[in-house]
Chains A and B, each alone.
Chain A
């Protein structure tokens, strides 16, 4: 669906600023490469030809946190890696979102022991959890679309609250 349907005869579209801002944020969200373990392979498969994620705006995965808006934590997070994850999250510029992909990143998964964080939300605040071990590429795409719905519902006054305390 494009803009042409809404243009009508005058070549002018009227909408609210929030809708435009949220629309532009969802149409070209660049994920940061944070594949840790098995879920990273399914993330790569979702990026490859059969289940193409570039249809949804995620054309490439940037390795640099300064140039990305979305971090997909794919894989199990070990105690040694936790501080590294937090540091990279802090280096990403606002606005930023986090998808926790897979069971190990959401809740610790199969591994309930001394070496794995029981969920990446002990380290970074998470927006969408995608379940599966590993989740199918279609499940990851569903998670991304859920995130888009969440972003489309964001209002300016909530963001103002969030940034006031920072």
Chain B
């Protein structure tokens, strides 16, 4: 720990900056890892000509956690705990991606009640993630009261999560085959109260921000991302939908019963920062529609698969049945085994396509886990769309792309 941070000199980035930086005509500014508006520990090296940006070089890796290697050392059940700490705005969504990948690998069924409850909780998580995005977005543009309003709504959603699983954020509530336990009796009433008050709150936020002349001045026409560049850079999620491409995994490759629900995919053709803001506000309304339909149609029945090779039996059965005891012992001591094959499975997280490449080797531990996280590709497009703008616009553009550093650095 004796060495300090080394000084950056332009020579290291010779191939990335223009020639004017080498002569000292433009300045290299470090928007360091600790900064109030970089949404986490992201370091941006900006090459500035006065106040205009000539080049932008992102430097990531300040939150690298080694999750992929660590998951190889744990069994399938234990590795799920690591999956919800990646994209920390969306822990239920990460759980869903991991659990769906494991279920695809071992070919396990999920009962309809578990599917509907998973959909409700994932959409609530999507609303909560967009609330934090909206709060941080307002904070970056110096609209500080948005932060307080959005966190007030988020507390209501976190109360629902605590009711269901006992934990506010890192719930690990979805397990292979279904859920950890059934939802308590107050769940339906609490969710219905929430969806009754929330639409008026969205109208309140729109009244504060959407027609605000300062916001329109700062956002319209800034950070234009065209459709071709977006597809070249592998951008997905609301950032892609705000550039006119109608691609959402919930509609294109429906999972967990999304095909039964009736909802739209908001898309905007303009491709600038304002369009990305409007797309996310519209997504809040669509999520509410899905939650209401799922709650109305909620089927009764088992909440976890009955396949005892992979799912532990309930405690009441262990005292009376010999096979239940044997299954319980095997699952708790060694864990279930997966075939020697590899799959790729993806879900739609609030930021884009969250995919998992999972490879088993016939044993109880995964051989290789790779997480395809949406913020990594969404950030790769930043140097393209920021050229020619001012330094204050970088903050607005970065906020509108909605990155989470835990996703990028894994």
Contacts and interface: CB of A to CB of B under 8 A. Distances in A.
Interface of A: 33-38, 40-42, 44-45, 48-50, 61, 63, 75-76, 78-84, 86-88, 110-116, 122-123, 133-134, 136
Interface stretch (B81-89, B101-109, B176-184, B266-274): B81-89
A81 B405 CA distance: 13
Interface in B236-285: none
Given A44-B151, A45-B155, A136-B168, A80 B64 contact: yes
Contact of A42 (B3, B81, B169, B405): B169
B5 A133 contact: no
Secondary structure of the A contact surface, majority rule:
loop
B65 interface: yes
Nearest to A32: B34
A83 B33 CA distance: 11
Contacts, number: 103
Given A41-B132, A78-B62, A50 B4 contact: no
Interface of B: 1, 3-5, 32-36, 40-41, 61-67, 69-70, 81-82, 85, 88-89, 132, 147-148, 151-152, 154-155, 168-170, 405-406, 409
Contacts of A81: 33, 41, 62-63
29 contacts: A35-B40, A36-B40, A36-B63, A37-B63, A37-B85, A38-B85, A38-B169, A38-B170, A41-B89, A42-B168, A44-B151, A45-B151, A49-B151, A49-B152, A61-B36, A63-B36, A76-B65, A78-B61, A80-B61, A83-B4, A84-B33, A111-B67, A111-B70, A112-B70, A115-B65, A116-B65, A122-B1, A134-B168, A134-B169
Nearest to A50: B155
B66 A86 contact: no
Contact of B62 (A41, A84, A136): A84
Across the A-B interface, the 3 shortest Cβ-Cβ residue pairs: A38-B88, A48-B151, A115-B66
A49 B153 CA distance: 10
Contacts of A87: 4-5
A27 B215 CA distance: 37
B155 A63 contact: no
Contacts of B66: 111, 113-116
Nearest to B406: A37
A40 to B, nearest CB: 8
B5 A83 contact: yes
Contact of A78 (B63, B82, B168, B169): B63
Contacts of A40: 40
Contacts of A114: 66, 69
Nearest to B409: A78
A103 to B, nearest CB: 10
